Amino acid sequence: MSQDVKLLAVDTSCDESCAAVFDVAEWRLMSDAVHSHVDAMARYGGVVPEIASREHVRGLPLAVQEACEKAGVALKDIDWFVVTNRPGLIGALLVGVAYVKALAFALGKPFSVLNHIEAHLFSPLITARDETQKAPPPFPWIALVVSGGHTELFHVKGAQDWKWLGGTLDDAAGEAFDKVGKLLKMPYPAGPLIDRWVREKATDEHRKRHAFPRAKVEGLQFSYSGLKTAVALHLQSVGELDDERKLAVCASAQEAILDPLVDKVRLAMKQYDCRNAVVTGGVACNSRLRAKLPEAYFPAPRHCTDNAAMVAVLGALHSQEGLLQPAPWNVSAQAHMD
């Protein structure tokens, strides 16, 4: 593919309908649109997969339209479409893939499918040529992808050269934030609310009041299911809490979620003799994590939570390396072991 290419990227892996337009030659993000389903999910206290699929049917065309308008391009100006097809909620992914496939077919343009986690992994490069943002460190990186669905560590030597090092054995860190919040009857998603409340009101004493468990798991792995149980048992034993006590539970639980993230990033840096770390995914927005891990590079918060700019950047990296393959139009009942 020539470098003079405009990509339209789409992500519908969870509960945000995302679209972005990216100019590969100029390495410039032209637009980035996110239609969140948070309001639709709030009454259920978490993501309901069927509702997410339906919200994508409504929200994705709006996100694509917004991305094109902000970029000042028409759909016919797009040279290549990219969309994440794994991993995620299957019904939600299907909406994005079917939509992009139909657009590409109607416009006679190619489309490619990409990995959502790999897109998070390279999200620091969205700002690589944006002078208003701090530049990301050069490779190699130890990279932590930490969100509502994932807590995974990688060793990244280059755009096509990365290795998974370890991940959570059960819940993801963002899920732990949201479950603690749910136990405290906070709205979904509780992660950003806990972050803000603790930052604005908590003291060191609040952060240390409860010694919630940090799971002792081998090597570069994580486990958060025990924390949720510990918080639930604590709440059962004390009954109704006033705000001051709730704040201490939030502040102490946040420390118990973040400490293993900090420890394991540092352990991986040591094991792999790697000086640079990057942290992405929704939990990378957390202000306390940013303070506890000052040696790591964190992308702008809007590029940490789910977005299509990161998908566009991954597509652009693949296209620069000549690796962006058009996806086939057909389906196959047989496994392709790639």
The answer to the question of residue 283 lying near ligand KG4 (CB under 6 A) is yes
Q: How far is the CB of 281 from Zn ion (least distance, A)?
A: 6
Distance CA 47, CA 34 (A): 17
Q: Which stretch binds Zn ion (CB under 5 A): 25-33, 77-85, 296-304, 306-314?
A: 306-314
The answer to the question of residue 260 lying near ligand KG4 (CB under 6 A) is no
Which of ligand KG4, Zn ion, none is residue 137 near (CB under 5 to 8 Å by kind)? none
Q: Which stretch binds Zn ion (CB under 5 A): 129-137, 160-168, 176-184, 301-309?
A: 301-309
The answer to the question of residue 31 lying near Zn ion (CB under 5 A) is no
Of residues 25 and 90, the one with the C-beta less far from ligand KG4? 90
Which of Zn ion, ligand KG4, none is residue 178 near (CB under 5 to 8 Å by kind)? ligand KG4
* DSSP code for 327: P
| CA dist 25 → 139, 189, 198, 306 (Å) | 21, 37, 43, 24
Sign of CA dihedral 41, 47, 53, 59: positive
The answer to the question of residue 147 lying near Zn ion (CB under 5 A) is yes
* DSSP code for 168: B
Select from 148, 167, 226, 315 the one that contacts ligand KG4 (CB under 6 A).
148
Element (H, E) at 146: strand 141-146
The answer to the question of residue 223 lying near Zn ion (CB under 5 A) is no
Q: How far is the CB of 301 from ligand KG4 (least distance, A)?
A: 7
Q: How far is the CB of 149 from ligand KG4 (least distance, A)?
A: 4
Map the footprint of ligand KG4 across residues 262-281, applying CB under 6 A. Answer: 281
Map the footprint of ligand KG4 across residues 3-32, applying CB under 6 A. Answer: 14
Chain-centre distance for alpha carbon 271: 25
The answer to the question of residue 306 lying near Zn ion (CB under 5 A) is yes
Select from 11, 55, 152, 195 the one that contacts ligand KG4 (CB under 6 A).
195
Q: How far is the CB of 188 from ligand KG4 (least distance, A)?
A: 8
Contacts within 8 Å (CB) and 24+ apart, 297-300: 297/124, 297/134, 297/136, 297/137, 297/141, 299/123, 299/124, 299/126, 299/127, 299/136, 300/126, 300/127, 300/133
- For residue 140, cis peptide bond before it (omega within 30 degrees of 0): yes
47 is written with which tokens?
Answer: 């993501």
Determine the residue with CB nearest ligand KG4. 282
- β partners of residue 21: 8, 31
Q: How far is the CB of 277 from ligand KG4 (least distance, A)?
A: 18
According to DSSP, the β-strands at 16-23 and 28-36 are antiparallel
Of residues 152 and 306, the one with the C-beta less far from Zn ion? 306
68 is written with which tokens?
Answer: 């094109």
**Start-end of H helices in the chain:** 38-42, 49-71, 90-107, 116-121, 173-183, 190-201, 204-208, 225-238, 243-271, 287-292, 301-304, 309-320
Binding site for ligand KG4 (CB under 6 A): 14, 147-149, 174, 177-178, 189, 191-192, 195, 281-283, 285-286, 305-306
